[in-house]
Amino acid sequence: MELTWVAIVASLLMGLGAAFLFIFSVKRDYFRNIEDAKYQVFWSDLEEKTDCGEVKKHGGDTQEGSRDKRRAG
């Protein structure tokens, strides 16, 4: 029976902690621009296109250059 009360108290404390964090974040205005958060996943995947149609990756290699390396190796 004691374990049940410990579990109830622990769950209530976790719920109060989550409520406190939510209120804190609302007061600090952390939820003011939530629409940009869904696009942050794709920002690292953006690729720059060059004039000749090749696609540059962040590592400096082009896709066609890496294809040539695979063919040669």
Q: Where are the domains of the chain?
A: 1-32, 42-73
Report the C-alpha gap between 73 and 70 in whole angstroms.
5
Return the pLDDT at 45: 64
Sequence-distant (≥ 6) Cβ neighbours of residue 55 within 8 angstroms: 47, 48, 49, 62, 63
Q: So what's the pLDDT on residue 19?
A: 98
Model confidence pTM above 0.75 = no
Assess contact for 54 and 62: CB atoms under 8 A: yes
pLDDT at 36: 76
Q: Tens place of pLDDT for every residue, the chain, 73 residues? A: 999 999 999 999 999 999 999 999 999 988 887 777 777 777 666 655 444 555 555 555 555 555 555 555 4
Q: What is the pLDDT of residue 46?
A: 61
- Give the count of beta carbons closer than 10 Å to the beta carbon of residue 56: 14
